[in-house]
Amino acid sequence: MTPIVTRFAPSPTGYLHAGNYRTAVFAYLSAKHSGGKFIVRIEDTDVARSSPEYEASIFETLTWLKLSPDETYRQSEHRPRHRELLEKLVKDDTAYVSKETPQAPGDREEVIRFRNPGGTVTFMDIIHGEITTDITDLGDFIIARSFDEPVFHFAVVVDDADEGVNHVIRGGDHISNTARQMLIQQALGLPMLLYAHLPLIFGDNHKKLSKRSGAKPLSEYRDQGILPEAMLNYIAFLGWNPGDKREYLSREELIEAFGLSRVQKGSAIFDEVKLLSVNQHWMRKLSDDDFLAHLKVGHRMSDFYAEQLRKAVPLLKERAHTFAEAREMLSGELSCLFNESILDRALLVAKELPKRVGMTKLALESLLGAIQSLPESLSTEAVKEALMPLGNAEEAKGKGGRGAVLWPLRYALSGQERSPDPFTLVAILGKEVALARIQKAIGILGE
């Protein structure tokens, strides 16, 4: 296999979205699979719109995704080289300084145009197959605004050659640029490159993924609590698959399996629901210690809080799709694990029997006795095995069913209308705390 040397060449003119970074992911995986090089080149020649803030965001996101470049370049540092080759083309009469008639204030009176030979240009795209472009209608196209201001088509050709790039992996919207760039390569006597134009990515609004259509910067997903391995896994599957039924691949597995031959021609859809599902998978694979480290609760914890938090990890892994959602759960429906709530007497009474306060009190007293007989160390399964027969007995009597027993227990323990099931609550709260809360609820009913 020929080592692939390819590049990710973003412009630092805004925050990049998943569509942009999909190009980086495919370029990185292609290079690493073949034992080649992954280059990052910041194309910052648009001085008016380029920003250090956007450039910093690009490198922060690549670092977060662990897409470490083998080499980095900044296009603006190559101006002397660009000028040298522009002058060569003009000297060879392959390009010329064109006198222009300004159409608007500020337009250039001179630009450098490439002499278009006309005819057609054909190249073999790794993904789309043979592509032929009729270049006659392009006319003599502009390759520089001045000798010190090359346009995109010229600068990328020179930079790719100087950096040893042999594969250009980029979005399908660049197919129309390829013919111009191949003409420039030929005029400069540079080696021809292999091209792979990736299918476009659409959002769930069926519009091309872009800042204008509301695509989020990847940093927003990072701040939500999306894991980098989940984002890498998800993006890699946008227009590619490993050829088998696997959905969840680690970085190493992606590098081993990846190949441009399995990139599809059709467009892909960026589906946030699917991304959250993939992230939940990778959250669940974390050890409890790593999960807690990612959770970043952000305050000093008492011993009780820390103990309860660790007990809550399996519950968070089961329910949360992001770490931001996990933190919301801790302050919402799971807050009862850390703080006792004030009970509402009306809510405490079983929903099915709102006027039967006495029956609710009896149910809690029977539950109290059952829990007292349990060992100090509790599991959800053991609690359920001990308490469910009481609920089943009420179900058999037809007097309110299981809810007449399990609802008051759940509310007594949580003080919330939304909470985990009562068996889980007893197991996490522990025997002592659970008994104290049930006794308090019985006291309220006796008032």
89: CB partners within 8 A, 6+ apart: 95, 112, 114, 143, 187, 188
For the chain, the farthest-separated pair of C-alpha atoms sits apart, in whole angstroms, at 102
Rounded-to-integer distance, Cα 122 and Cα 178, Å: 10
Q: How far is CA 346 from the centre of its chain?
A: 45
Indicate the annotated binding residues: 211
Q: If DSSP states are collapsed to H, E and C, what string results for 200-228?
A: CEECCCCCECCCCCCCCEHHHHHHHCCCH
Q: Residue 98 has which token pair?
A: 């064109």
- In a 10 Å sphere around its CB, with 0-12 CB exposed, 13-18 middle and 19+ buried, how is residue 240 labelled? buried
| Helix, strand or coil, per DSSP, at residue 252 | helix
For 420, phi then psi, to 5°, come to -65, 170
Listing DSSP states for 94-119 in one string gives SEEEEE---SSTT--SEEEEE----S
Q: How many CA atoms lie within 13 A of 234 on its CB side?
A: 27
Specify the amino acid at residue 108: R
Specify the amino acid at residue 375: P
| Helix, strand or coil, per DSSP, at residue 96 | strand
Give the N- to C-terminal CA distance of the chain in Å, as an integer: 82
Q: If DSSP states are collapsed to H, E and C, what string results for 122-174?
A: EEEECCCEEEEEECHHHCCCEEEEECCEECHHHHHHHHHHHCCCCEEEEEHHH
Specify the amino acid at residue 81: R
Inter-residue contact 308 to 242 (CB < 8 Å): no
Rounded-to-integer distance, Cα 268 and Cα 265, Å: 9
Give the gyration radius of the chain's Cα atoms: 32
Q: Residue 278 has which token pair?
A: 């993939």
Q: Residue 127 has which token pair?
A: 């993904």
153: CB partners within 8 A, 6+ apart: 141, 143, 177, 180, 181, 184
∠ at Cα 205 (260, 278), nearest 5°?
55
Indicate the annotated binding residues for ATP: 211
Nearest to 334 by CA among 420, 415, 424: 420
Q: Residue 411 has which token pair?
A: 């509310």
